[in-house]
Structure 1
Amino acid sequence: MRLGTVKQFDQNSSFGFIEDDQNHKSYFVFYTAIKEEGYRRLQVGQKVKYQLAQGKNGLQCVNVYLTSV
C-alpha cells in the first residue's frame, strides 16, 4: 500500500486527487475507491493509504483507506 495526502476532493462530483508521499505525483480518485462504511468522502489534508491501478485515462487510486499516520 502507498501513503498519500488528499489534495482535492469535490463532494458534489465525488472525485478528487491524492498526492503520493514518496514521489509527490497526484493521482485521480473516485469515491467508489474509498473503502469506508457509510457515506464515503475525503477531506483535504487527510492521510490515506491506497493502491494504484490502470484506469481509463492513466493510473488512479483504488482501495483507499483512511489512516491515522
Structure 2
Amino acid sequence: MRTGTVKFFNESKGFGFITDETTGQDIFVHISGLKSRELKDGDVVNYVESDGKKGKIATDVVVL
C-alpha cells in the first residue's frame, strides 16, 4: 500500500493523477480503481500501484 496526494481528478472524464509521497512520481488513476465514492484535488489517499497498458496506475484507492 502506497500513500499519495490527488494532484487532480476530473469526475466527468473519470480519471486523474496521484502524486506519490515517497517518489514524487505522478500515477494515473481511473474511476474504476476507486474504493471511495469520490476523489477531490488535494485528498490524501492510500493505493496499490499496478502495471497498466501505458505505465503505472493506481488501484484500490481509499481516501484517508
Same fold (TM over 0.5): yes
Moved over 3 A (4+): none
User: Which structure 2 residues correspond to residues 1-69 of structure 1 after superposition, within 5 A?
Assistant: 1-36=1-36, 40-67=37-64
Partner AA of 1:53 in structure 2? S
The structure that is strand-richer by fraction is: 2
TM-score, with structure 1 as normaliser: 0.89
Matched length: 64
Q: Which has the larger radius of gyration?
A: 1
Distance in structure 1 (CA, Å) of the matches to 2:33 and 2:38: 10
TM-score, normalised relative to structure 2: 0.95
Question: What is the alpha-carbon distance in structure 1 between the residues aligned to residue 6 and residue 20 of structure 2?
Answer: 9
Gaps of 5+ in 1: none
**What are structure 2's unaligned runs of at least 5 residues?**
none
